[in-house]
Structure 1
Amino acid sequence: MQWLIVLLFISAALGFWFFYRQQKSLSLHQAAPDFSLADQAGKTRTLEDFRGKWLALYFYPKDDTPGCTKQACGFRDELQELVDLGAQVVGISVDSSDSHAHFAEKFQLQFPLLVDATGEVARTYHSLIHLGIIKFARRNTFLIDPQGKIARIYHSVNAAHNAGEVKNDLKMLQNKVTP
């Protein structure tokens, strides 16, 4: 009987993994989907607000959890270099503005954390996991160019290395387009 339960659990886990690995994604060089979401201070932010700058738009599952903290602090630590490269950083999860505000204050995050309470923006970016009453954002990052097109897509990123990857790719992309 226990083997049957273990087998069912493994089958369900493999089915979950296969289903979510097969989800569609956005494509490089396509226009990034627009959004209009409030940040941790209640200010509404849109994709258009970042036009003319590079944007590291990252989706993360949950405020103040180990992986999400590591990822956010990585962006915090690389923020000045990213800004010097003409980029801004924005995080998005389904958490509330109060949760975002506490998370940002606790870890001195100096970039917007947007509230996607319905998960609609995460879904548009193919970054939503919705399991009945539970929903959360997938750890995906999109590097959006100054014209609003997707320059890089990072799926299921390593939280500890995501900010460094984005910074290195941004440097490479800028060297590629500059004589």
Structure 2
Amino acid sequence: MTEVKRLDVGDTPPAFSLPNDSGSTTSLSDFAGKQVLVYFYPKANTPGCTKEACDFRDSLSNLNALDIAVVGISPDPVDKLVKFREDHELNFPLLSDEDKSVMTAWGAFGEKKNYGKIVQGVIRSTFLINADGTVGMAKYNVRATGHVERIVREITAA
């Protein structure tokens, strides 16, 4: 398996500017001076991705109370992200990375094991970007179920 370059705590993450589900563009620089959780997921409206997104939705008030915003990124086209947001009343921006360039730069796309086979795909990942623009937490190969609760627990324990 080819090793994917991964981000570590203290790294400066690659900048991005991607179309969002509201018809505009969201950039990492929009969150300068603030904390933001950036999470990468494989496909909108699939069971695992829906569970994870709804967990972020349901935890958003707790995260916002800690001055942390949330952004979800997938390779889905914008129209699918709009439907995903509407279907599940998601309350944070969903960004489209159709060419997977941002995912690749963040180490969230590449070879992974899926049901015992090596495939190219989205590596479900979550990053906390600190107010100073550095990576405060980098989690790769996370499970959709229970992931958000673990992240919130880890952030509040720090």
TM-score, length of structure 2 as denominator length: 0.90
Q: Provide the rounded CA distance (Å) in 2 between the counterparts of 1:85 and 1:115.
A: 26
Q: 1:141 is paired with a residue of what secondary structure?
A: strand
Deviations 1:106-136 (A, max 9, x none): 00001001000110000000111379xx964
Letter in 2 for 1:56: L
The superposition leaves residues 20-61 of structure 1 with CA deviations (integer Å, 9 ceiling, x where unpaired) of 6x4231121011211000111221111111112211100000
| 2:152 match | 167
- Structure 2 stretches lacking a partner, 5+ long: 113-118
Counterpart position of 1:9: none
SS of residue paired to 1:105:
helix
2:116 alignment partner in structure 1: none
Match of 1:127 among 108, 117, 137: 108
The structure where helix makes up a greater share of residues is 1
Contact 1:71 1:163 (C-alpha < 8 Å) held by counterparts: yes
Residue 95 in structure 1 maps to residue 76 in structure 2: yes
Matched residue type, 2:98: A
Of 142, 147, 150, the residue aligned with 2:132 is 147
TM-score when normalising by structure 1: 0.80
2:69 and 2:120 mapped to 1: Cα distance?
26
Misfit runs of 4+, over 4 Å? none
Residue 165 (structure 1) shift: 1.9
**Mapped pair 1:83 → 2:68:** no
The offset of 1:160, in angstroms, is 1.4
**Alpha-carbon displacement from aligned partner over 1:49-102 (angstroms, at most 9, x marks no partner):** 111221110000000001100100110010000000000000000001000000
Tell me the matched-pair count.
152
- Rounded to whole Å, the distance in 1 between the matches of 2:103 and 2:83 is 21
Greater RCO (CA < 8 Å, at least 6 residues apart): 2
* Aligned equivalents of 2:16, 2:109: Cα separation in 1: 15
Note the residue ranges of structure 1 that are not aligned, 5 or more in a row: 1-18, 174-179
Q: What value does the CA root-mean-square deviation take over the aligned residues?
A: 1.7
Among the aligned pairs, what percent are the same residue? 37
Provide the C-alpha distance between the structure 1 equivalents of 2:149 and 2:14, rounded to a whole number of angstroms.
24
Task: Select the structure of larger CA radius of gyration.
Answer: 1
